[in-house]
């Protein structure tokens, strides 16, 4: 296939003019990434502190008070005692509390005699995410309580001391924001280019293009270039916002990060172009790009559900999706400071996806006018 | 096939599923001539021209342009020809200058040459809007002029114009045809499709298209003399005599009657019967002998409306 750089540049220049004259594309490329990052960055917060916990103490002993204090001293719970006339479940029904702790009569005696079941914790199973967090805190609290009440400290019992590396405070924003950048670039890139070829088919200009000796490769290259510049600018904005607004630390190498970004942006743009080339109608292209951009980026990238815990089919399926690989890179570089060597697998995967998408877009490019 | 042929088409068939848009046609366009495709919408004119420009693959048949086979040598042919689609192909959100510059760049023309050539073409067509006007703000006919200039920019030897004047008002239409004639004088081959009869009259040779086939192909003059060996009359019945007049005329056996607006064209086939009919119906109509036009030929060969 012939390739003339001057012709590809002429197409790039023309495409740049379309972008600059279309406020919608500009807003999509520059405004939307920032908007999404700020919205999601503030909304998605997986840290729960200050959980309201209603406590009914029916025992009124030193033990029961000591037990309740274990909860409050963990720092995660705010205890609100209530009298025994009220049914414990009503607090959950009215959603006035996230959990209810009932310490039964004879709790103290149970402890002294070593029996179990002196207290009950009621949680709202409908709010799965919050309950999960409470349960994870509970393990630590029970541990502390056991140590407190044990008459003879257990000897030689194995103990695990957990230390969180890379994100010592387990700050969920640090974890989410770099990942969110992946979602935003992945979705945006596909949306931006999905219209470009379809638009030329719909408004008839493709006929002029194809009546000249221009080749599909030149068209594809010429269309990738300006949208790459636009997406990269959007990505830089997201990066700056992640650092400044959310204070996400960046432990890696800028060169590694931006190289990977460039490869990922190209993959997303190529995916949009392929859709545009195949669909040849703007509306169809828009729908296809929403589905093929949004779903992999949000659900199959490891953003919400870790890839490792997906069913086997999806674990392999995600391998052909670029967001999954860039998610690995983005989190790795931001928090762990991973370099080229550690990222060789996801980087090679992204490059391979790029090669396949661009080749397909060129090969599938119809040079026939009629269907 | 003539050695000087600009376009040679042999047994061309283009089918979309079971429908044959072009059905086994053969013709040859000489270098330097103005060759017209005349036919109703859907007669296969555009499909044929697109196949010649390599914009769609024929189902069967062979096409050569400037001696090169379209199937083997497409890029060289694309570099050689100019094509103006009947669809509007410019970018409405770019200015005239930007559209022209883009068309030139696709043809690998240096910027300076594009400017000089555009200036020459705009002077030629009388285009006098500022070149920084966005194309979407130009009137329809003027847009077509810009599109024509874009397709002529690289000075192609063979020019394909698919209904270049559709929707264009009379004055610019005349300018268009002046331009086409000048191109022909300069030695260019012009292949034009139209459904305007007056435009077809200006072609060197005309091919009458009907449902994918060529109904006739010759110079406009030959088409007329060959198809109208007998005198042709225009008959205007008086208002009172109009009802049933055509039926009576047809039944008289004087000749073939074709409606022509409120009048009729009679192709005389039997002079005696025609004299007899005129005598019987004296005073009920007026008549005059006319020379046949291409429209007469078209209606006789193809039937129905040309437009």
Tens-digit pLDDT profile for residues A214-246: 999 999 999 999 999 999 999 999 999 888 988
The C-alpha of B87 sits at a distance from chain A's nearest C-alpha, in angstroms, of 6
Report residue B235: phi and psi, to 5°.
Answer: -110, 130
**In A38-50, which positions are buried (b, 16+ CB within 10 angstroms) versus exposed (e)?**
eebbeebeeebee
* pLDDT, average across residues B285-302: 88
Question: What does the alpha-carbon distance between residue B141 and residue B118 come to, in Å, rounded to a whole number?
Answer: 18
Nearest CB to A4: which of B83, B102, B108? B108
* pLDDT, average across residues B169-183: 86
* pLDDT, average across residues A248-262: 92
* pLDDT, average across residues B182-186: 92
Looking at chain A, which residues constitute the CATH 3.40.1710.10 domain(s)? 51-149
Q: With beta carbons under 8 A apart, name residues in chain A contacting B107.
A: 212-213
Residue of A nearest to B88 (CA): A204
**Mean pLDDT, chain B, whole residue set:** 89
**Per-residue pLDDT tens over the stretch B268-287:** 888 888 989 888 888 888 88
Q: Give the predicted TM-score (pTM) of the model.
A: 0.81
pLDDT on residue B158: 96
Q: How confident is the model at residue B2 (pLDDT cuts 50, 70, 90)?
A: very low
pLDDT on residue A139: 77
Nearest CB to A211: which of B16, B47, B53? B53
Q: How confident is the model at residue B305 (pLDDT cuts 50, 70, 90)?
A: very low
Q: How confident is the model at residue A170 (pLDDT cuts 50, 70, 90)?
A: low
The C-alpha of B162 sits at a distance from chain A's nearest C-alpha, in angstroms, of 12
Q: Chain B interface, mutation test: which of A26, A212, A366, most B Cβ atoms within 10 Å?
A: A212
pLDDT on residue A163: 64
Residue ranges of domains in chain B = 7-224, 229-291
* pLDDT, average across residues A145-169: 63
Whether residues A212 and B150 touch (CB distance < 8 A) is answered with no
Whether residues B107 and A371 touch (CB distance < 8 A) is answered with no
CATH code reported for the domain at A51-149: 3.40.1710.10
Nearest CB to A369: which of B50, B81, B88? B50
Q: With beta carbons under 8 A apart, name residues in chain A contacting B162.
A: none
DSSP string, B72-111: T-HHHHHHHEEEE-SS--S-TTSBHHHHHHHHHHHTT--H
Helix locations, chain A, DSSP H: 5-21, 23-26, 32-43, 62-73, 89-93, 107-113, 128-149, 172-194, 196-203, 205-210, 216-244, 254-279, 282-298, 312-317, 322-331, 344-363
Architecture of domain B7-224: 3-Layer(aba) Sandwich (3.40)
**Per-residue pLDDT tens over the stretch A34-90:** 898 888 878 766 666 677 888 888 888 888 888 888 888 877 788 888 877 778 888
pLDDT on residue B185: 93
Q: Is the pLDDT of residue A168 over 60?
A: no
Question: Within an 8 Å CB–CB cutoff, is residue B158 touching chain A?
Answer: no
**Per-residue pLDDT tens over the stretch B111-120:** 999 999 999 9
Count chain A–chain B contacts defined by CB atoms under 8 A. Answer: 80
The C-alpha of A130 sits at a distance from chain B's nearest C-alpha, in angstroms, of 52
pLDDT on residue B306: 39
Question: Within an 8 Å CB–CB cutoff, is residue B85 touching chain A?
Answer: yes
Q: Which CATH class is domain B229-291?
A: alpha beta
Asked whether the beta carbons of B129 and B142 are under 8 A apart, the reply is yes
Q: With beta carbons under 8 A apart, name residues in chain B contacting A367.
A: 55
């Amino acid at each position: 296939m012939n390739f003339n750089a001057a012709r590809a540049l002429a197409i790039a220049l023309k495409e740049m003019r379309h972008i600059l004259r279309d406020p919608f594309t500009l807003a999509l490329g520059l405004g939307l990434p920032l908007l999404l990052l700020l919205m999601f960055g503030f909304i998605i917060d997986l840290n729960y502190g200050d959980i309201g916990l209603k406590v009914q103490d029916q025992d009124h002993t030193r033990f029961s008070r000591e037990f309740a204090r274990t909860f409050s001293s963990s720092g995660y719970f705010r205890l609100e005692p209530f009298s025994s006339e009220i049914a414990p479940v009503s607090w959950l029904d009215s959603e006035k509390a996230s959990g209810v702790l009932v310490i039964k009569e004879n709790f103290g005696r149970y402890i002294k005699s070593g029996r179990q079941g002196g207290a009950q914790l009621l949680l709202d199973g409908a709010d799965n995410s919050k309950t999960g967090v409470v349960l994870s805190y509970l393990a630590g609290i029970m541990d502390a309580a056991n140590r407190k009440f044990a008459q003879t400290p257990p000897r030689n019992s194995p103990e695990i001391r957990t230390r969180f590396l890379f994100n010592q405070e387990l700050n969920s924003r640090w974890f989410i924001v770099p990942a969110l950048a992946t979602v935003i670039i992945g979705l945006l890139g596909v949306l931006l280019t999905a219209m470009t070829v379809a638009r030329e088919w719909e408004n008839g200009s493709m006929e002029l293009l194809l009546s000249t000796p221009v080749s599909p490769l030149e068209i594809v290259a010429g269309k990738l270039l300006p949208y790459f510049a636009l997406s990269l600018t959007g990505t830089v904005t997201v990066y700056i916002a992640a650092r400044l607004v959310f204070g996400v630390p960046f432990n890696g190498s800028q060169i590694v990060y931006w190289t990977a970004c460039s490869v990922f942006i190209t993959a997303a743009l190529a995916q949009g172009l392929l859709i545009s080339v195949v669909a040849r109608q703007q509306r169809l292209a828009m729908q296809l790009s929403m589905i093929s951009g949004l779903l992999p980026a949000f659900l199959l990238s490891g953003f919400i559900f870790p890839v490792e815990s997906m069913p086997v089919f999806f674990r392999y399926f995600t391998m052909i999706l670029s967001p999954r690989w860039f998610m690995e890179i983005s989190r790795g570089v931001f928090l762990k400071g991973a370099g080229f060597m550690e990222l060789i697998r996801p980087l090679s995967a992204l490059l391979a996806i790029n090669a396949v998408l661009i080749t397909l877009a060129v090969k599938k490019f119809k040079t026939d006018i009629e269907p | 096939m003539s050695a000087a042929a600009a376009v040679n088409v042999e047994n061309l068939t283009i089918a979309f599923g079971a429908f044959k848009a072009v059905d086994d046609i053969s013709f040859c366009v000489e270098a330097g001539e103005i060759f017209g495709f005349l036919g109703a919408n859907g007669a296969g004119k555009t499909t044929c021209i697109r196949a010649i420009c390599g914009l769609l693959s024929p189902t069967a048949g062979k096409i050569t342009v400037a001696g090169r086979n379209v199937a083997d040598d497409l890029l060289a042919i694309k570099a050689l020809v100019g094509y103006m689609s009947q669809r509007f192909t410019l970018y409405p959100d770019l200015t005239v200058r930007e559209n022209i510059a883009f068309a030139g760049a696709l043809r690998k023309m240096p910027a300076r040459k594009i400017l000089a050539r555009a200036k020459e073409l705009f002077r030629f067509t009388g285009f006098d809007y500022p070149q920084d006007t966005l194309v979407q703000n130009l009137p329809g006919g003027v847009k077509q002029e810009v599109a024509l200039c874009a397709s002529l920019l690289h000075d192609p030897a063979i020019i394909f114009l698919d209904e270049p004047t559709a929707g264009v008002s009379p004055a610019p239409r005349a300018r268009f045809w002046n331009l086409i004639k000048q191109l022909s004088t300069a030695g260019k081959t012009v292949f034009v499709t139209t459904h305007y009869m007056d435009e077809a009259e200006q072609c060197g040779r005309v091919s009458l298209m009907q449902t994918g086939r060529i109904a006739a192909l010759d110079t406009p003059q030959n088409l007329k003399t060959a198809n109208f060996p007998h005198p042709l009359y225009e008959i205007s019945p008086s208002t009172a005599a109009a009802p049933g007049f055509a039926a009576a005329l047809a039944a008289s056996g004087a000749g073939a009657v074709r409606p022509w607006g409120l009048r009729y064209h009679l192709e005389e086939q039997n002079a005696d019967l025609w004299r007899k009919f005129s005598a019987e119906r004296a005073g009920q109509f007026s008549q005059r002998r006319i020379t046949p036009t291409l429209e007469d030929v078209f209606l006789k060969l193809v039937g129905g409306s040309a437009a």
